[in-house]
Amino acid sequence: MIRRGFFLSRLLRFPVLAAPVVTLMLSFSSYFSEAHATPRATEFELKNGMKVVVVQDHRAPVVTHMVWYRVGAADEPPGVSGIAHFLEHLMFKSTEKIANGEFSKIVSRLGGQDNAFTGQDVTAYFQRIAKDRLPIVMEMEADRMVNLRLQEKEVLTERDVILEERRSRTENNPSALLDEQMNAMLYLSHPYGLPVIGWEHEMAQLSPDDALSFYKRFYAPNNAILVVTGDVTPEELMPLAEATYGKIPANPDVKARPRPQEPPHRAARRTELKDPRAGKPSLHRSYLAPAYRGAEAGEAEALDLLLKVLASGSTSRIYKSLVVEAKVASSTGGYYSGSARDSGKISLYGVPADGVSLEALEVALDKVIAEVRASGITEAELDRAKKSYLAEYIYESDNQATLARRYGWSLTVGRTVKDIEEWPDRIAKVSLADVAKVAAKYLDIRRSVTGTLIPASPDLPAEIAGTPPKAMPSNAPAPAAKAGGRT
């Protein structure tokens, strides 16, 4: 998911900076007209079906090299949850050419950095490296695309690593546990309801055969997209891509990704998690919404702007109403996540002020949501949200790694270069009527799950009750469903 920046949105909160901000906003139209006159990204395809995208930035002799696979946790066979993330870890083991654990050490000795991450729809591997070292990392990445060796000892050792990762990131984080339970309830049929990192009891049974089978099924050039940003031209990259990835034969067994789809959601769902480590109680709400890829024209852009106005930051409707005016909350927030392949999600949360019950906080939250559903937002709010997003887009375009993620993630879930580069224009065209329409349509309680996190001791089953909890003071909402890079 493209992370929204915050630099200019912070500036916009301060009236003393209004004049330079207005000047900057006036430059947006010329910036985007120039950008669209010549598309920033160049794309081509190798004979084996691998797509290649180049985004040039010649200010420094550095490149970011990313290989994206069209596979994630939502593509896992039943009973082996976590295998996509597990394989991501195992990809840093050995091949016939590279000894166990040497991949990252070689990149480091070359003066570069590398890592990887797994989501519901994607698995990506990346290196940031000096331009003259690019051929080496391309050869290494192409090598492990087809020549990975999985020795049982290495696999079992790494399985312990991912189990510990789950314990530290999920089991010891009450907010993450609640988020996991809410996701499982939000999706009635779709595999997005499974955690990216996996269920612990299934992770503990993952085997070398599970990993090898998943690897052979999904890791192939015709199921991958190469994105390179930085100091390289398409003319320079094409022969390098052909000499490395182009030598790998396509896998004819790679198929489209059929997945169960969601039935109509007819009833709101609720869940409660009691955990003494929570610190303070908190209220969480998720709504099922369309993603950019499958939304009707303009809906996803309108949802982005709606959530910017409704729940993002101290100028948002929810914050001003619940924290500043009614003083029933100490903090609030929310966002729209639309970067997935099959569906998106609206997320809201709030922490009650001292002496305020979760019930009172929920009543106040529902009141703000009802007002927006009934009356929409104002022209001033919409204008401010557009300016904030367009400014963030410009600043993020200055970052090589962010560009690689922007193009790579969107292309991997099925969007196009045109979709990516026309996003600012589409945001600018969203009307008040568009925002009102998606607010009424998707802030529907029947499409939601409401969760409460309560700092209290639950009635635990005997096999869990004997495990003493570790301290976890954080009350922040859990991160979006994604397993991070290797630890």
Catalytic residues: 88
245, 226 Cβ separation under 8 angstroms: yes
Lookup: tokens for 478: 């859990």
What's the number of CA atoms in the CB half-sphere (13 Å) around residue 331? 11
- Those residues whose C-beta lies under 8 Å from the C-beta of residue 304, and which sit 6 or more positions away, are 336, 338, 389, 427
Q: How far is CA 53 from CA 33, 221, 228, 257, in A?
A: 22, 14, 6, 22
DSSP helix/strand/coil, 247: helix
Distance CA 452, CA 193 (A): 18
- DSSP letter for 323, please: I
Distance CA 407, CA 417 (A): 7
Distance CA 4, CA 392 (A): 7
Across the beta sheet with 344-352, what order do the strands follow? 269-274, 448-454, 282-289, 344-352, 329-337
Lookup: tokens for 470: 């570790």
Distance CA 336, CA 286 (A): 10
Length of the chain: 487
